[in-house]
Chain A
Amino acid sequence: MRIEKLNLLAYGKFTDHELTFPSGKHDFHVIVGPNEAGKSTVRRAITELLFGIERQSPLGFKHPQSDLRVSAVLEAASGKLTFVRTKQQKSLRSLIGEPLPDSYLDPALGSLTQEAFEQLHCLNHENLVKGGQGIVDPRNSVSQILFQAASGLDTFAAVREALSARAGELFANRGRSNEYIKAADRYAAAQKRLKDVQVRTREWVEARDELKSADQELDKERKNRAEVEQQRSAWERARRLAPLVERLGRLNDELAALGDTIAFPPSAKATLDSGISDMNAAAGIVQTRENDVQARLQELENIQVDEKVLERAADIERLGKLCGLYANHPRDLLLRRTEVKQWLDDLLARSLEFGWGTTEEEVRKLVPQHKVLRSIDALLKERGALVEGERGAQETVDQRQAGVDELQERLDATSDASVDPQLAQALSQALPYKNSESKLKNLLSAVSAAQAALTRALAALGLPDITEEFLRSMKLPSLERVSAFRANRQEIAGEEELARSRMEEAKETAGELELQVTQFERSHKVITAGEVSGARRERDDKWGAIKSGTLVLSEGAPQLDIAIRLADELVDARTLSETDSVTLQGLRDQLETASDAHRRHTKTFGDKEQELQEFDARWAEVIAQMGLDGMELDDMPEWLAKRETALAAAENHAGKKHEFEQERDSAVQTRNDLAAAMTAAGLPVSEASGLVALCMSADEHIKTIDRARGNRESVQQQLRDAQSSLRLAEQTKNARTTAVHGWNTKWQEALNNANLGSVTNDFAEVEAAIEAASFIRQRLEKIDTRRVERIVSMEADLELLKSAGLALAHALNSAMTESTPDELSRVLNTKLEEAKRQSNRKAQAQEFLDEAKRQLSEARSTLDQGKRRLEPLLRAAGVEDPMIALPLVEKAQKKVELEASIEQTIEALEKDSDGLTLEQVKAEVESHPATEAPGRLLAIKDCLEDSDRKLTQLVQGQVAAEQKFDAINGGDSAAVAEAQKQESLAEMSEAGEEYLQLATASSLLKWAVDKYRDRKQGPLLQRASVVFKNLTLGSFEKLRIDYDQSPPALLAYRSNGQQVTVSGLSDGTRDQLFLALRIAALELQTEQSAPVPFVADDLFINFDDKRSQAGLHALYELSTKTQVLFLSHQEHLLPVVERLFGGVNVIALDDEQVPA
């Protein structure tokens, strides 16, 4: 819709004021006027024109309320609408006042409401701002179109937050609580520990050297101390040993005084004393022992022993044992014999039944042997299976015979036909062509396509009626030759062009130089040598004329003066213009050179031009000979390529065609062959039958015969199998019958062997006989066992006992030969025990006697020993009586004691002499007089104390060095620290790797989502962004929604990327934003529905001039889509409008019509 005319018939201050809005490429109209000129009235009139006049209109100040009227001509899609809006009941009227229906304006308005019109289409500044606030409020449903790009990404914000949060845990630029930094701290700590505990080789070497030197110093001091210590020892030793040395001297003197003595052993005195006392005691003991021996001898003589009985003691004891063992034998023997008799009676009774004898001996002979019985039993067991086997085999033979008969019948009923091989071959050849129809179609269409391609390729050659043959027959230059031609021509053309440009260049240079010469000549008066010599010649002529008298002096003198001055002036001037003249000459020389060059290049150009023409003529001739008149040389390669294409297309066409024909002919041939073969095989063949039908028919025929044949072969095979089975069954049956016959023969033999020849085929009786024989055999075995094991052995035992008793009685001459062995045994045992008792007593008495004799011998020996012990002593002393030897022994003892004391003293000396010899000690005592010792020892003590102090220090030093050295003991502290370092490094790597992943992912996701939203933003926002950028002259780059806020908010982005919220914009920029949103909305609306005019009433009040111009531009652009009525009080904009968009419809309202 657009407004063509608006007439304010009676409205506000206006009366019949018509505004016309002619249409054009830009439907842009400016209504300008100062305040109170009626601009707002016009805006209101447009609203009320379309939607009705308000009941209590504030505009009814000039015309009565009821008379308010506005008329208009609107252009709608359906045509023009002319009407008057009144305040009457039916407010829409025709121009002649007739009421119009309310729907009259529907074609123009559509679904447009007054509210929407006022908010979007008909704006003053106040509406612009108010409505704008509504649009950028996300809670407003109208604005949803702005915020539509958030869908589909709701869940991703959480993902990004999680990624970012985890990345923050792993690493943060600040603080030390993140995982990477913690690990890095641990790493640093381990590093420090490693440094602390690590022992470098140099440190070890130092520690070792330090220890070595401490050891050496300590050794030295110890040696020093040892020397002092030695001195101290010498003084102390001398003081200590002096008394012993003196005592030794005294003892030696005493020994010398004692003189010679007999050399008794040291124990001589003690030996002598104890010898005398021992001999006295031993003499008493010998007497006592002699008495004792006599008493024991008497005792032994009084004891008597029965030796005879003792000699047979073993036999007597054996007899007693046997009596005990065989005590029960007589009773037991009776019982066993009765038992055997009973068993014998039982078996005789059974043997009688089968005629095997009446006595034990007969029975033992006639009863069948075990072997015979087993064979009968085995035969009995075999019989059933043999008989049953024979019967079963006969049945099998009968069944198999029936089967063979049946199969023979079935075979006779089948036929024996076979497939005609010619037919089979024809069919197999025909089958590949079964689908030839569709293949032929494809081939045919390929032929057509190739034909079309050929035609196209020929047409592309651009020669009328050209044929393939002609094309082939053409004698054309090769591409190489054409290329050579072209290169040749290009060369000539290039040279021509070069000559031309040189010619023109030279011409230009010559022109320029010529101009320079002219200009130089014009601006510089150059005196030439010619002019000077001319002036001189003039002067000389005058002088000559005066001299010759041709010229009178009075007349000639002034002329000569002039000529002289002129010549002089010229000479002076020439001197002055020397430089100019040189310059000019130079220019002239250059000009001449340039002119020469121009001439030369002109000639070259002419030559080259001609050469080129000649070349072209030659080419035209060549090409005409080939029948390609007028073909340009440059077109030739392309034409040759096209020719190749055409020839290839022709070849392709021929190939396709040949393929098609071959396929078609082969198909016909195979069909005919198949038909002939079928006819020969007696199959019906129709002329009209196609290859497919024939193939199917032949195939069916062959399959039928194959099936029948297969069936017959199967029956034949079955019959062969059945016959073979029958033969096998018959063989089996014969074998079974032979086995039964064999059994019968064996059976009769076995019965005879068992003495049962009369029983024959009564199998029950045979079984009873086997059982009886078995019973008899068992009983006989039992009888034999009992006899051998019990009866015979007991009889033997009793016999042995009896003979033993008799033998004993005879041996001891006993009168008891008639007594039972039991009685004999009892008597002999009693005697034996008495004899043993007496024998024991005798042995004991003998022992006592032996002991008494031994003690007597000992006492005598003791007495002898005493005497022998004293014998050497007495011999040494030269006496026989021990009592006389006593004083001699005591003197000798005294000497021994003295020698011992000397020995002890020397020992004491040696013990305390610290290893010195006796002589050394004596010398030392002499050289270290006891009187000097105390003083010397005090001095030595001081020395030692000094040495001790020194040693303590050295030992401490040595211990410290040793500890230091020992501390380097191969411990693993450094290795452990290094391991911990690596562990921290691993943690750092892990945290770092994860951080890089997550931080990158988080950044990437944020960037991608922003980008996605940028792309997904609504068209409204997109368009508004562009308009807003233009309105703000590029200060703002774009508009975006920040979805990270809740609710989302509109943000404006400055060109430097800074974001500004709507409330943060300046008033002007905010107005520009709201206008941009409106313009964008209007543009979108006009794309989707019929356009509606846009009325802008002083919207630029907060715009500066430049932005106002930008605003005008925006509206002017909008006016290509919808009608724009721009109302403004800013008259200074008019020239701007004019300048910007010349020929715009400008309607000026003036304020004259304002009522007083």
Chain B
Amino acid sequence: MGFKFIHAADIHLDSPLRGLSAYEDAPAQQFRNASREALKELVTTAIEDKVSFVVIAGDLYDGDWRDYNTGIFFASQMGRLAKAGIRAFVLHGNHDAESEMTKKLALPDNVVVFSSRSPQVHRIDDLKVALHGQSFANRAVDDNLAASYKPMVKDHFNIGVLHTALEGYKAHPTYAPCTVDELYVKEYDYWALGHVHEFQQWDGPSTIVFPGNLQGRHVRETGRKGAVSVTVDDSGHAVVDRLYLNVLRWEVLKVDLSGSASLDDVARKVGRGLTSLLEAADVPRAVRVSLEGKTHLHGALFGNAAGVRAQVLAQAAMIDSERLWVEKVKVATTPLEGPQAAGDSNEALGELRAIFEEAKEDSEFLRHLEMELQPFLNKVADEVKDDVPRLDFARQKRFADIVQEVAPGLLAQLNSKAM
């Protein structure tokens, strides 16, 4: 008998979106609950598609997240599934294992949680499905859990549920390590994996799938996110379809400024880019705008981050402030080789360039710079770390590196002023 199920993982419920500031027109109110909305979408889709069951392969919530309301919310969503007669099989990964919520949360009867003590097999007799799995007992599980999973159940559709880094995913901690071949050896029909936040599928003797995380949470998790819907026909053949359930999608919009004549031009180009993003989109976007290319505006952009950002935000507000949230405006342009300032200024610039070079080696200057920045470094919170490489330099007392990074832009600005 054919059936259909949904496989999701890494829901990280109530894990906040990072790097987004709540500027005046930002749709902050709307997306502070993005992970909850995505979970609701998942449940709604399961009900509408009349799936037989849902598999969640670990990391329901962040390990350091303490609010019990999150658990209750999850339980309420599982309750929706229960009303529709849909079972849910939940496995705890490295993040859940840490959470005290995991131990206390009372879930509706339709939810089956894989034990962390030993590998378990849960059968669904009417569908002839067998689900194998073992939850993490603690955060750092370094053993190959899959190795001790039970043998496949004959004449059943066997699903292995596993939270693992699998081979070759260096971006994620290598918990419960194993290889694709080791999974094939089990002769299961389908492996429902979790932990890696990017979608990935292997179609070998078993179908192995990482569905990716349900909702991107920062700019390093760009692109469409969601779960997968798996349709199994009478012969046991599985077809995997992706479900895009994210309510806010992360993007990096690269805008080439070569040929731009003014900051107004820049604004227009950014505006066009943002518009085309939305045109192509069905969900709202969190966008990092990266200004690139060789341009004579390079100097004018340096030191005017606030102005450039204001321009970009104005564009976003004009286009659709409800559906666009600008994460950051990154100036990554390079100066145009070409006209230089004339006369004394040019000579002075040449000398200044040389002096800037010396500054990196000049211990007296570096000491002075350290003193200048020290009050800020004393005040700056430890939590400020995402995407501020200069702060890392400053904390490591690598002031020469900061100078190295700042000097070219400053020179370009001086050159543009002197022309």
B127 at the interface (CB under 8 A from A): no
Within the complex, the shortest CB–CB distance from A65 to chain B, in Å, comes to 56
Contacts of A1007 in B (CB 8 A): 355, 359, 365, 368
The answer to whether B17 touches A982 (Cβ under 8 A) is yes
Of B19, B28, B343, B375, which one neighbours A152 at CB under 8 angstroms? B343
Within the complex, the shortest CB–CB distance from B208 to chain A, in Å, comes to 33
- Chain A, interface SS category: helix
Which residues of B, 341-387, contact A by the 8 Å Cβ criterion? 343-345, 347-348, 351-352, 355-356, 358-359, 365, 368-369, 372-373, 375-376, 379-381, 383-387
The answer to whether A982 touches B72 (Cβ under 8 A) is no
Within the complex, the shortest CB–CB distance from B210 to chain A, in Å, comes to 26
The answer to whether B33 touches A972 (Cβ under 8 A) is yes
With known contacts A155-B345, A1004-B403, A1009–B72 Cβ distance under 8 A: no
The answer to whether A974 touches B20 (Cβ under 8 A) is no
The answer to whether B368 touches A1003 (Cβ under 8 A) is yes
Closest to B13 in A: A975
Which of B74, B345, B380, B403 has the largest count of A CB atoms less than 10 A from its CB? B380
Within the complex, the shortest CB–CB distance from B282 to chain A, in Å, comes to 23
With known contacts A152-B343, A996-B390, A987–B21 Cβ distance under 8 A: yes
| Size of interface on B: residues with Cβ below 8 Å to A | 76
B22 at the interface (CB under 8 A from A): yes
B140 at the interface (CB under 8 A from A): no
Interface stretch (choices B43-51, B62-70, B150-158, B237-245): B62-70
Closest to A994 in B: B305
The answer to whether B67 touches A199 (Cβ under 8 A) is yes
Within the complex, the shortest CB–CB distance from B372 to chain A, in Å, comes to 5
* Cα of A205 to Cα of B104 in the assembled complex, Å: 8
Of B20, B76, B345, B373, which one neighbours A982 at CB under 8 angstroms? B20
Which residues of A, 1056-1099, contact B by the 8 Å Cβ criterion? none
The answer to whether A972 touches B344 (Cβ under 8 A) is no
Contacts of B386 in A (CB 8 A): 985-986, 989
Within the complex, the shortest CB–CB distance from B167 to chain A, in Å, comes to 33
A1020 at the interface (CB under 8 A from B): no
The answer to whether B68 touches A155 (Cβ under 8 A) is no
Closest to B99 in A: A201
Interface string of A995-1026 (1 = CB under 8 A from B): 11111110111011101100110000000000
The answer to whether A992 touches B69 (Cβ under 8 A) is no
* Cα of A1001 to Cα of B359 in the assembled complex, Å: 12
Within the complex, the shortest CB–CB distance from B75 to chain A, in Å, comes to 7
| Size of interface on A: residues with Cβ below 8 Å to B | 67
* Cα of A593 to Cα of B391 in the assembled complex, Å: 74
* Cα of A402 to Cα of B304 in the assembled complex, Å: 84
The answer to whether B32 touches A980 (Cβ under 8 A) is yes
B137 at the interface (CB under 8 A from A): no
The answer to whether A152 touches B344 (Cβ under 8 A) is yes
- Chain B, interface SS category: helix
The answer to whether A986 touches B406 (Cβ under 8 A) is no
Of B20, B343, B406, which one neighbours A1001 at CB under 8 angstroms? B406
Closest to B303 in A: A163
A968 at the interface (CB under 8 A from B): yes
* Cα of A482 to Cα of B75 in the assembled complex, Å: 92
Contacts of A1005 in B (CB 8 A): 410, 414
The answer to whether A1001 touches B14 (Cβ under 8 A) is no
- A-B interface contact total, Cβ < 8 Å: 217
Contacts of B403 in A (CB 8 A): 1000, 1004
B101 at the interface (CB under 8 A from A): yes
The answer to whether B72 touches A152 (Cβ under 8 A) is no
Of B21, B35, B36, B355, which one neighbours A986 at CB under 8 angstroms? B21
B335 at the interface (CB under 8 A from A): no
* Cα of A981 to Cα of B22 in the assembled complex, Å: 10
* Cα of A1011 to Cα of B361 in the assembled complex, Å: 14
Closest to B73 in A: A970
A443 at the interface (CB under 8 A from B): no
Of B28, B355, B375, which one neighbours A1011 at CB under 8 angstroms? B355
* Cα of A156 to Cα of B414 in the assembled complex, Å: 7
Closest to B26 in A: A983
* Cα of A1003 to Cα of B305 in the assembled complex, Å: 18
The answer to whether A153 touches B365 (Cβ under 8 A) is no
The answer to whether B418 touches A155 (Cβ under 8 A) is yes
* Cα of A982 to Cα of B217 in the assembled complex, Å: 11
The answer to whether A971 touches B365 (Cβ under 8 A) is no
A1028 at the interface (CB under 8 A from B): no
Of A171, A969, A986, which one neighbours B69 at CB under 8 angstroms? A969
* Cα of A1001 to Cα of B372 in the assembled complex, Å: 11
The answer to whether B410 touches A184 (Cβ under 8 A) is no
* Cα of A1122 to Cα of B290 in the assembled complex, Å: 67
A158 at the interface (CB under 8 A from B): yes
With known contacts A992-B391, A1001-B409, A1004-B356, A199–B414 Cβ distance under 8 A: no
B328 at the interface (CB under 8 A from A): yes
* Cα of A976 to Cα of B376 in the assembled complex, Å: 29
Which residues of B, 296-350, contact A by the 8 Å Cβ criterion? 302-303, 305-306, 327-328, 343-345, 347-348
- 10 more contacts with CB within 8 A, not counting A970-B73, A997-B390, are A173-B375, A980-B22, A992-B376, A996-B394, A998-B303, A1000-B390, A1005-B410, A1007-B359, A1008-B359, A1012-B355
Q: List 8 A-B contacts (CB under 8 A).
A: A156-B417, A199-B68, A204-B68, A973-B69, A982-B18, A996-B388, A997-B390, A1005-B410
What residues of chain B have their CB less than 8 Å away from a CB belonging to chain A? 14, 16-22, 28, 32-33, 35-36, 65-76, 100-101, 103-104, 302-303, 305-306, 327-328, 343-345, 347-348, 351-352, 355-356, 358-359, 365, 368-369, 372-373, 375-376, 379-381, 383-388, 390-391, 394, 399, 402-403, 406-407, 409-410, 413-414, 417-418
8 closest A-B pairs by CB:
A152-B344, A970-B72, A152-B348, A974-B67, A970-B73, A979-B32, A173-B375, A975-B14
